[in-house]
Amino acid sequence: MDSSRRNFLLAGLGSLAAAPALSLAAPATVRHRVKLGVSTYSYWHFREPKVTVAEVITKAAQLNLSGVDILHRQMDIPEKEPLTAEHLAYLRQLKRHALVNGMSLICLSTHQSFVQAKPEDLKLHVDHTIKCLAIAHELGIPCIRINTGRWNTVDFDTLMAQRGIENVPAGRTEEEGYKWCIDGIQQCLKKAEEYGVVLGLENHWGLARTAKGLLKILDALPSPWLGALLDTGNFLENPYDQLEQIAPRAVFVQAKTYYGGGEWYTLDLDYPRIAGILGKAGYQGFVSLEFEGKESADSGVAKSLKVLRQAFGVQ
């Protein structure tokens, strides 16, 4: 090596040594990005004929989506029974089907009610939730949707007509409901950590009907294995203010649309504004479409994805 080249290299190395160390901290501004998925519920609103989970995985691949959010009750296995070898074989077939279609399984949306006065009744819902964690683990799903549950003093259609509001039974208090719910979720957290599956508590009906109620539960159980599952269509009063309150705690997002009119109600949601709220909170996870309109699922989902792609800047 000639002396001029050697001197040039040594000078360059000296400059590097004198330069400040590279920072490993996140940049001051992070480009907002999300991945879009679809809920199997978008194709089946608890009415016959039922569209199978495998069919939705195929459709999601054709729509160039990143993932599928599986509604547990839509699976071709019993909801409440213990898992059998036959059930596990079904789960593995779904997992393979997702793989060959290039599709991630991103959430398992489950149903339970932790608002239970009797310990033995609460245990039934805890055990069911732990079973759902095992299903998610088997499928490689990183998150399950959980609900607080509610008092069940009215049927669901009446609850919707009353905008999600129901009376507390005589002799009971709302604080008791929160205590039972917090206790039930706490009993699930150890298994959530063992399975490596996050519990996403949805702003659903019942105790998490408001941002205040949902945050009361999350604040009582500080854990990396519990967060908010933000549903854009479940705050019926001051929705954007409430979404803004829970957005920093969101681990998963379900985005409602209502083409053809909603099954129970219709909201005119401002998705550019919602995307801005999530971006401000630093959310960079999945946004799963939950089409809840009466239009045919295929056309309703297609229209909805166009809206979400534009709002979130996703191709």
Give the span between the Cα atoms of 12 and 195, in whole angstroms. Answer: 50
pLDDT in tens, 165-181: 888 989 999 999 999 99
* CA neighbor of 204 nearest in space, from 169, 252, 171: 252
pLDDT, tens digit, 9 for 90 and up, residues 252-290: 999 999 999 999 999 999 999 999 999 999 999 999 999
Rounded-to-integer distance, Cα 132 and Cα 136, Å: 6
pLDDT tens figures, 208-217: 999 999 999 9
257: helix, coil or strand?
strand
Highest CATH level, class, for 30-312? alpha beta
State the pLDDT at residue 32.
56
What pLDDT, on the 0 to 100 scale, is given for residue 153?
84
pLDDT class for 162, splitting at 50, 70, 90? confident
Q: Across the chain, how many H-helices and E-strands are there?
A: 10, 8
pLDDT at 159: 85
User: Which residues fall within 8 angstroms of residue 46, CB to CB, at 6 or more apart?
Assistant: 73
114 φ/ψ sector (left φ>0, alpha ψ -120 to 50, else beta): alpha
Which residue, among 198, 193, 199, 234, has the nearest Cα to 213 in the 3D structure? 234
Q: What residue spans define the domains of the chain?
A: 30-312
